Amino acid sequence: MSSNWKKDLDDSLRIVKNGFMTGDIHTEFTFSSEKDDPNAEVKNALKKRRLYLLAFAFFPAFNGIIGGFEEVIFRLLHINPYDAVPMMIRYASAFLGTVVAIRFIKNWRGQSRDAKAAYDEKIMAKAVQEVMPGATLLPDDCMDGMDLYLRGVVPDFDDFQGSYLINYEKGGKACAFSNLTLTRREKDHNDRYYNKAVFVGQAYVLRYKSQMQGTVRIMTTTQWMGRERLDGFKKWDKDREEKIETENQSFNEQFDVYATDAHTAFYVVTPVVMERLLAMKAKYGSFGVAVNGREIAIALCSRYYLFEPPESYQEIENISVEKSADEIRQMLLFAQLLEDTINGRTAAS
């Protein structure tokens, strides 16, 4: 009987552990073997971070159990729990719990930093070099949000942050992209300020050279596939830009085009380009583009970040340099498709 009770308890604890650690009670939580898995060091660092989160989730319950145990002891000994000595014990217990919690949070933050550093060095840095030899990776840096706003490809904002800035050369020309978040301070219905994310996605600057004079701005204007529209762009400068209407009504309904003049606009926004941009919007969602004779600036409102260290157990298990390299290639593919579209090239060419 006792062995069955112990087995049931062990099974219950294992189910709870697996549920918290993996999100699936049938998936066994295990640390990766460095002998069998070249990415074991990174995976285990991220799994340890999850262990800290599990322990932190149970910390209040543990404190409650200690408090309840103290209450039972006081009653068994017929001690008034509000006398001086019991109150001193309670205060000492609370103080000790606070110290342990602070120490625990400090260790968790340290483990999180170590896990991210390992992921950046052993996964992302290798993936970048595999796809773009010679490129530089700055995990905690991002594109300049104000520069992108002045180009007219992102909404108005009050603050910006991002990650995984990658600088590289293509055809001898410097290019860059990163994750980017823009936030704007707004009031709720109670007149309290809060930070609203007005853009979450990726930003690119591709340098190239064409014969085009002036500038052209193209951005999506309508909600698409459930994504919030990109509103509040740099306002139309009537002294320097014209609002362009094309003969493609569907394009006009889904894109706004501003250009130095109509001739410059139609140098870029040809019938073929319009069809491709509509197709790209259907696939990728909302984005803004600014083109001049030297650069193409792109802001893709994907509503998610790329390259971030995974959180779930299943994603941690699937970490690999190859997977991250594929993410980089997909990011480059969007930029290449848009660059080819603006330049009038086809995939075959």
78 in helix, strand or coil?
coil
pLDDT tens digit sequence for 95-148: 787 887 788 788 888 888 999 999 999 999 999 999 999 999 999 999 999 999
Domain-embedded: residue 78 = yes
Cα–Cα distance for residue pair 118/112, rounded to 1 Å = 10
pLDDT tens digit sequence for 31-71: 888 888 888 899 888 888 877 777 776 667 667 777 777 77
Domain-embedded: residue 320 = no
Are 166 and 288 part of one and the same domain?
yes
Are 12 and 32 part of one and the same domain?
yes
CB–CB of 218/184 below 8 Å? no
Domain boundary among 69, 96, 131: 131
Number of domains in the chain: 2
Are 249 and 144 part of one and the same domain?
yes
Are 160 and 123 part of one and the same domain?
no
Are 10 and 45 part of one and the same domain?
yes
Q: How confident is the model at residue 225 (pLDDT cuts 50, 70, 90)?
A: very low
Which are the contacts of 203, defined by CB distance < 8 A and separation ≥ 6?
A: 142, 143, 148, 153, 154, 162, 177, 178, 180, 297, 298, 299, 300
> 221 is written with which tokens?
């204007």
Instruction: Indicate whether 297 pLDDT > 60.
Output: yes
Are 180 and 274 part of one and the same domain?
yes
Domain boundary among 107, 131, 155: 131
Are 98 and 20 part of one and the same domain?
yes
Greatest CA span in the chain, whole angstroms?
93
Residue 191 DSSP code = S
Dihedral angle sign, alpha carbons of residues 223, 226, 232, 235: negative
Model pTM score: 0.78
Are 85 and 146 part of one and the same domain?
no
At 232, the amino acid letter reads: G
Are 144 and 287 part of one and the same domain?
yes
Structural domain boundaries enclosing 46: 2-131
| pLDDT of the residue at 344 | 62
Q: What is the CA radius of gyration of the chain?
A: 28
Are 181 and 278 part of one and the same domain?
yes
CB–CB of 257/217 below 8 Å? yes
Cα–Cα distance for residue pair 320/91, rounded to 1 Å = 49
Q: Is 285 left (phi over 0), alpha (psi -120 to 50) or beta?
A: left
